[in-house]
Homo-oligomer: A and B are copies of this chain.
Amino acid sequence: MTKYVYLFKEGKAEMKNLLGGKGANLAEMTNIGLPVPQGFTVSTEACTRYYEDNQVIADEIVTQIFDALAKTEEEFGKKFGDSENPFLVSVRSGARASMPGMMDTVLNLGLNDVAVEGMAKQTGNVRFAYDSYRRFIQMFSDVVMEIKKSNFDVILDEVKKAKGVTADTDLTADDMKDVVAKFKALYLQEKGEEFPQDPKVQLMESIKAVFRSWDNPRAIYYRRMNDIPGSWGTAVNVQGMVFGNMGDDCGTGVAFTRDPSTGEAKLYGEYLINAQGEDVVAGIRTPLPIYTLEQAMPAVYKEFCDFATLLEKHYCDMQDMEFTIEHGKLFMLQTRNGKRTAAAALKIAVDLVDEGMLTPEQAVLKVEPKQLDTLLHPNFDADAIKAAKPVAKGLPASPGAAAGKVYFTAADAAAAGKAGLPVILVREETTPEDIEGMDYSKGILTARGGMTSHAAVVARGMGRAAVVGCHELEIDEHNKTLTVNGKVFVEGDNVSLDGSTGCIYAGDIATVEAAVTGDFARLMEWADAARTLKVRTNADNPRDTKQAVEYGAEGIGLCRTEHMFFEADRIKSVREMILADTVEQREKALAKLLPIQQGDFEAMYKALEGRPMTVRYLDPPLHEFLPQKSMVAEIAEIASELGTTSEAIIKKIDQLHEFNPMMGHRGCRLAVTYPEIAAMQTRAVIQAAIAVKKECGYDIVPEIMIPLVCEIKELQYVKKTVVETIEKVFAEQNTTIEYSIGTMIEIPRACVTADEIATEAEFFSFGTNDLTQMTFGFSRDDAGTFLDSYYNAQIFESDPFARLDQNGVGKLVKMAVKLGRETRPDIKLGICGEHGGDPSTIEFCHNVGLSYVSCSPFRVPIARLAAAHAAINEKNSK
């Protein structure tokens, strides 16, 4: 028979998956001899079973619960519902990972009309007993039975009003009895039955409530945000009550073994005399700093300090502890690895190595890769932001804080940026044409679009703060005004935004630049020593490239050449090329682009100082380079610039219109229909490499990447143009260099025919953005309309565009890796695109044996750390 219930003394820290974090640590503390009020844990497997059994707790589990209860009662020498010496318990949820979205605690469970009298006798305090009872009724009704807490508050207020008092403490024991009676009446009215008097019923209802809370919308949302699988379930901890509110020799508090904000190595926390845990949280009384306990209760303080040191040494990590003092006796109610800021995490990890508690590899595992994000972007000055109230909130699309003046078009933003003004670009939504304006902005704000909208993706890539999809914004681009909940901003007005929280503020809030401290550098060194996966960056200009190299990038994994095409001095030639009717006209326009593109590549090769660069050839559908049909003025301007008519441009826009551009004429399909584009890009890449090699001596091996290949013959066809052009350049310049030609694997068919494609491709770079779209059959731009329903229905637990879907897309990736290696054992394999910076995806990439991941510059340190985690975890699991 499966064991579903464990006494604390039966468990240990390693049983976290079964007992949850809280339960496992209560067991561990019990085992190492700390004073823990005893109790038992109902396992996560019981929760899973509960859902399998259609939300019923099986008889065998009930039996085990009551058996453990009996043993705990015996330990305490008390009895549930006893009229002399009643046993009371707390019931708390406790999942494998800490989950604030779940059920709150129920305290004082076991009180009923009989036990309350027993409690009164035992404590000699009738008022305390009835106060505890009324608190329990309210808590149980609220947390377990879903009766609104405020209904009870109304009754309490009425009683106080009738008595002419304002504070709870002014109510007498009889008043409390009156309150209890009224609370019970409310319960009867709301639920149609009496408040349960049987403590066992109270217990089972509470346990069920914890199980149910695993699937409440908050918990689901939290799990999705934190990549926690729904299948884990939660455990339930039932623990004998101790009381911190029975007099001035009682108290309760929480403390960290080190400062969770700074990482400083000193006890940090607070406590309250004569209080229960909830009072600390509720904030009615102001808790005292933990160090003052030394004076108040010297012996208790010393004991607590010893426990803290013991626990930190035991867990080799900073601990977050809860304790209660009952009549001068210290009880430990919880310990866990403490949450901490990124800066603290770095300092603690490095300090613990210096203190001999951790090896460098262990220290690396103590810092969550995602946490580094906040260290790599500007933040609001802590004092400046304290008083600020957001005027609106959108989606936190790209982290970091930004303050500046609002501009409503990319052109205005670029102009202001060039003039040295701090710019916040405000748009309904951004388009590829806005690139330059975005680049000159400190922050980007949009009214539409989701976490993977154009604005979000590009801002993250550029490391610009961005808040998107803020529906409260009313943007009038024509009149250049932004209205937010009635407040109007005109061009040049100051706003501030926080891309990590989605908050938008009126006015200018001071920001501080990101700083990389010594701890950070030391930890990254250890990470680099541990990892085997290389980390490259996605960059399209020398500035981003330099930034990425500073952050440790080992090359460029994805240079999107089309991003170079949007800038003002080249878009004209690009449009000329698109409007060309003949190969000759197209080649004429391309000839103008060649020196510009070659110059781009030269600057990037220089910024890379010899590191490799994968250049992806023109990818987006050509219509993206033309204005929308409705933009009459812009079309006229372009027409006059190019010496043609608006009609001609509109005709071309019509020709280029596609029903599903994502699946249209783009990627290598452009190179198949217009080989001259691929030829121009090849010239630019190779000539730049030769020039920079000559000038700087770097031994550059250009990596040419053909996008969107679905069929080997497609690659062969384009490769032929590329190789012929390279041979021409070699002949012209009377020199040769090495180069390699590969492809993006971003179409399902490329995965299943990867063995064939590898005959021509020297490397694969997995374009998991598109691969995810095609594999799921949904478009990133449109999925927003239904993905919320999918999260709510728990069909998806995480955003497949943020975290690689290992079960589906991952299978295709694995297949392509296997087939590719069968043909070409030494094939170079990488991943580019948004997923390349996601830690769980990086672990996947490590495990399937890719050579590198490539991500935006600001995610490079995160990727380095995640790669180290993957390598160390793999080693440890062997």
Contacts and interface: CB of A to CB of B under 8 A. Distances in A.
A658 interface: yes
A786 B665 contact: yes
Interface string A789-831: 1100111100000000101110110000000000000000000
A470 to B, nearest CB: 18
Interface string A513-554: 000000000000000000000000000000000000000000
A302 interface: no
B786 A711 contact: no
A773 interface: yes
Contact of A777 (B673, B708, B783, B793): B708
A782 B659 contact: yes
A66 interface: no
A748 B809 CA distance: 9
Contacts of A776: 710-711, 747, 749
B749 A663 contact: no
B663 A662 contact: yes
A374 interface: no
Given A662-B663, A809-B749, A777 B774 contact: yes
Contacts of A713: 793-796
Contacts of A794: 713
Given A776-B710, A777-B774, A794-B713, A665 B808 contact: no
Most B-side CB within 10 Å, residue of A660, A711, A785: A660
A664 interface: yes
A669 interface: yes
Interface residues of A, number: 48
B752 A793 contact: no
A714 interface: yes
Contact of A795 (B664, B711, B808, B811): B711
Given A658-B782, A662-B663, A795-B713, A752 B672 contact: no
A717 interface: yes
Interface in A718-752: 746-749, 752
B773 A749 contact: no
A775 interface: yes
A823 to B, nearest CB: 15
A156 B664 CA distance: 53
Contacts of A793: 672, 713, 717
B808 A664 contact: no
7 contacts: A664-B783, A673-B789, A710-B775, A747-B777, A749-B777, A752-B775, A774-B774
Given A665-B785, A714-B790, 11 more contacts: A660-B660, A660-B663, A663-B663, A663-B773, A664-B778, A664-B785, A669-B786, A672-B789, A708-B777, A710-B778, A749-B808
B748 A812 contact: yes
A782 B664 contact: yes
Contact of A786 (B673, B753, B775): B673
Copy total for this chain: 2
A748 B770 contact: no
Contacts of A811: 752-753
Nearest to A810: B752
A774 B776 CA distance: 8
Nearest to A790: B672
Contacts of A747: 775-777
A660 B779 contact: yes
B770 A777 contact: yes
Most B-side CB within 10 Å, residue of A708, A746, A753, A775: A775
A247 interface: no
A607 B418 CA distance: 73
B795 A777 contact: no
A751 B241 CA distance: 54
Contact of A660 (B717, B781, B795, B796): B781
Nearest to A672: B789
Contacts of A710: 775-778, 808
Interface in A673-718: 673, 708, 710-711, 713-714, 717
Interface string A743-773: 0001111001100000000000000001001
A752 B658 contact: no
A664 B776 CA distance: 11
A390 interface: no
Given A711-B795, A807-B753, A660 B748 contact: no
A661 interface: yes
Given A710-B808, A711-B796, A794-B713, A659 B781 contact: yes
Contacts of A782: 658-661, 663-665
Contacts of A664: 778-779, 782-783, 785
Contacts of A805: 749
Nearest to A714: B795
A808 B777 contact: no
Given A672-B795, A774-B775, A662 B665 contact: no
Most B-side CB within 10 Å, residue of A713, A773, A795: A795
Contacts of A789: 672-673
A775 B790 CA distance: 23
B663 A661 contact: no
A841 to B, nearest CB: 17
Contacts of A752: 775, 808, 811-812
Nearest to A753: B808
A793 B793 CA distance: 47
A677 to B, nearest CB: 13
A98 to B, nearest CB: 26
A253 B782 CA distance: 66
Nearest to A808: B749
A392 B640 CA distance: 38
8 A-B pairs closest in CB distance: A660-B779, A663-B779, A749-B808, A748-B748, A747-B777, A664-B782, A659-B781, A660-B660
A658 B659 CA distance: 9
A767 to B, nearest CB: 11
A811 B816 CA distance: 13
Contacts of A774: 748, 774-775, 777
A686 B808 CA distance: 34
Contacts of A748: 748, 774-775, 777, 808, 812
Contact of A711 (B658, B661, B711, B808): B808
A749 B774 CA distance: 9
Most B-side CB within 10 Å, residue of A708, A753, A777, A805: A777
Contacts of A786: 665, 669, 672-673
B775 A749 contact: yes
A661 B717 CA distance: 31
Most B-side CB within 10 Å, residue of A658, A661, A663: A663
A448 to B, nearest CB: 11
A519 B582 CA distance: 55
A795 B672 CA distance: 9
A746 B774 CA distance: 11
B795 A717 contact: yes
A695 to B, nearest CB: 38
A876 B659 CA distance: 46
Contacts of A672: 786, 789-790, 793, 795
A796 B669 CA distance: 12
A783 to B, nearest CB: 8
